[in-house]
Amino acid sequence: MKNLNKFIIAASVVAGLSSCQKSFDASTYAPPLNIGGYTSASQIAPDNLIAHWAFDESLIDSISNTEGTATGTSFATGRKNAGLQGAANAYVVSNTPEAVQNMTSFTVTAWVNSPQNTDGIVGILDIANSKEFWGNLTMFFENGATADKGVLKVHVRSGAKEAWLGNYDVQNAWGRWINVGVTYNEATSKFVVYVNGSKLAESTQADFGPVAFKDAEKMVFGTVQFQTTPSLTSSTSKQDWASYLKGRVDEVRIYNKALNAEEIGSLVKLEGRGK
């Protein structure tokens, strides 16, 4: 009987010790995600990041602390945490951060999840020009979309010079998250347009030189500058061939240099993994 009691006590002690031990989790021993030498998007050209709208239940640019004003927008599930949800006649207007107004080279990237545009062009973002028909930097989906294809277009104004980039076909553009980006290098006068971290097209605009935005005090997300109420430009008001982003936009980043292809690829892959 004594031996039986000793066995029962020993078994109870072992069981107690086992219950205190944590289960083995192999993921805790895995090395951190490393893409292109980076473990998070924030590590890519941090000294050149001059604006960042994460849209995590906020309309604030985390770099300049500039806060936008919403008209009809809300927040929904984003590509990374929350994102900005658009709608018909909905948009966000913000003062343009000073560093954005004064950049001479740039990179702009944004995640977009949009239904097919059937009501006219759909602005993603527009750095306005208060005296011209088109803004200083406009990224939008052009008319002519199909169920399987979007048409991406970018317009850049620098003083009296203009660059029209597009129309670029984007396959499987609707109803899923895609990343769109454009870079400009003042040393080479070269623009490069990216979709999902891969180069879609490039264009060298002879003697375009350093970008010089004019009358760029305002910017808008979710439409183009002349579709707001009131219009952000004195040059025109609403057009019946233009519309609004009825989907979502997230993680808008602006840099004051042209990121290279490796940096763009790493940025998109990291943000796509929530990093």
- Distance, in Å, from the CA atom of 9 to the CA atom of 18, rounded to the nearest integer, reads 14
- What is the DSSP secondary-structure string of 58-70? --B-TTT--B-EE
Q: Which residue has the tokens 């499987």?
A: 172
pLDDT of residue 26: 54
Query: Which candidate, 227, 251, 219, places its Cα nearest to that of 112?
Result: 251
Domain layout of the chain by residue ranges: 45-272
Helix H or strand E encompassing 155: strand 149-158
Pull the structure tokens for residue 157: 């104004």
Cβ neighbours for 86, distance < 8 A, ≥ 6 positions apart: 73, 222, 244, 245, 246, 247, 248, 249
pLDDT of residue 18: 46
CA dihedral 91, 219, 245, 181 (to 10 degrees): -150
Query: For residue 119, which phi and psi values (nearest 5 degrees)?
Result: -110, 10
Q: What is the pLDDT of residues 15-40, one digit of tens each?
A: 444 444 555 555 555 567 888 889 99
CATH number of 45-272: 2.60.120.200
Q: Which residue has the tokens 């690829």?
A: 265
Mean pLDDT of the chain: 91
pTM of the full structure: 0.88
Q: What is the pLDDT of residues 81-138, one digit of tens each?
A: 999 999 999 999 999 999 999 999 999 999 999 999 999 999 999 999 999 999 999 9
The region, left, alpha or beta by phi > 0 then psi within -120 to 50, assigned to residue 98 is alpha
pLDDT of residue 8: 42
